Amino acid sequence: MSAVLQTELAADRKAFYDKIDKANVTPLWEVLHNIITATPSTPCKPHLWKWDQMWPWIQEAGRLISAQEAERRVLVLENPGLRGRSSITHSLYAGLQLILPGEVAPSHRHSQSALRFILLGRGAYTAVDGEKVTMGVGDFVITPSWTFHDHGNPSEEPMVWMDGLDVPLVELLDAQFMEKGPQEAQHTNRTEGDNLAQFGNTMKPVEYRAKSRTSPLFWYPYGRTREALETLAQAHDAHPCWGHKLQYTNPVSGDWAMPTIGTFMQLLPKGFKGKDYRSTDSTVYAVVEGKGRCRFGGETLVFGPRDVFVCPSWLPYRLEADEQAVLFSFSDRPVQQALDLWREAF
Ligand code: GTQ
């Protein structure tokens, strides 16, 4: 085609695009390769939040606002590639929540499911649908979708936990509802630890019928998880990529503990040098014990206890541990698997 004809065609196309644009219509061929990409193209970036940097800021937030006034006193961990969107990955939210001695974070409920992973303190509680659990470091606690929850700290020490919620995912689907509780703190009418007694011993009450996909067991104390990993590590070889890794389950269905968020705990033996791994579920890690590194090609994140880091979809990374390390993690894997989208490679 001659240069003249080409210029004419370009002008005709531009005029056409402008004309249809006014009616909210646009040509696919201009964007096709941006929306249907050969491999995941996520705005999510690898990033590490060091506890040593976060802890003074968490304490400062504690002086500036009460849990009561804030409703939830949380510093949101925003992915550097997703600033302004309250997101740590494209589909998930994470934050560090502080509750000081004597405080109550008032009752509310929402469509979003939440997890708590305790980083600091012992003795604060969360109450879920009338049942309290008193939490300690390393415990994983679920707040199922649309259940009333409030948090309180009758102990003498501050408590900090990582919140993980499916906020961006629920927002994408425009399926969110929220309401405040009738009272600040729920009337707790069930015995503390009831859920663990009913569902935490590979048994269930004979009359039990599931009302939702979320696990009826909502408290997974660290002692049990730690013991399971330790025993595994003695009897089995470490996987070349992830060491010894368990996923939390709903003990009744055998499925994920939460329908939208997959949760895991893994142990990396001392001196572990993992092989490259990638999967389509961008993953948030919180370090419970030990020190090590997460390497992405040239970039290295050096982690220690209570640090949080994020590994984006499909970017190969490898985990290394100088001393035995224990890592909690969460991702949207259950959603991807339910939709036949999940992939991994190593
Ligand atoms: O504790 O209910 O980090 O509703 C964000 C939203 C925590 C909570 C967050 C919430 C909560």
Phi-psi region of 173 (alpha: psi -120 to 50; beta: other; left: phi over 0): alpha
| Any atom of ligand 1 within 6 Å of the Cβ of 95 | yes
Interval between CA 286 and ligand 1 midpoint (Å): 17
Enter the DSSP assignment of 237. Answer: P
φ, ψ (nearest 5 deg) of residue 218: -120, 5
| Any atom of ligand 1 within 6 Å of the Cβ of 165 | yes
DSSP notation for 279-306: ESS-EEEEEEE--EEEEETTEEEEE-TT
- Are 325 and 287 in contact by the 8 Å Cβ rule? The answer is yes
Most informative mutation of 87, 97, 129, 141 for ligand 1 (most atoms within 8 A of CB): 97
- The domain ranges of the chain are 3-35, 47-345
pTM of the predicted model as reported, rounded to 2 decimal places? 0.97
User: Across the strands, what pairs with 163?
Assistant: 95, 116
| Any atom of ligand 1 within 6 Å of the Cβ of 74 | yes
φ, ψ (nearest 5 deg) of residue 63: -85, -25
User: Across the strands, what pairs with 141?
Assistant: 116, 219
Most informative mutation of 58, 72, 117 for ligand 1 (most atoms within 8 A of CB): 72
| Any atom of ligand 1 within 6 Å of the Cβ of 98 | no
Per-residue model confidence (pLDDT) at position 184: 81
Give the CA-trace dihedral at 152, 155, 161, 163, to 10 degrees: -10
Per-residue model confidence (pLDDT) at position 190: 83
Most informative mutation of 78, 165, 169 for ligand 1 (most atoms within 8 A of CB): 165
Per-residue model confidence (pLDDT) at position 186: 77
For the chain, 346 residues long, the average pLDDT of each consecutive 10-residue run is 93 98 98 95 97 98 97 97 98 98 96 98 95 96 97 97 98 98 82 92 97 97 98 97 98 98 98 98 98 96 98 98 98 98 98
How many angstroms separate the Cα of 11 from the Cα of each of 14, 17, 18, 200? 5, 10, 11, 69
Per-residue model confidence (pLDDT) at position 274: 98
Q: Which atom of ligand 1 is nearest to the CA of 178?
A: 4
Per-residue model confidence (pLDDT) at position 37: 97
| CATH dotted code for 47-345 | 2.60.120.10
Q: Is 331 helix (H, G, I), strand (E, B) or coil?
A: strand
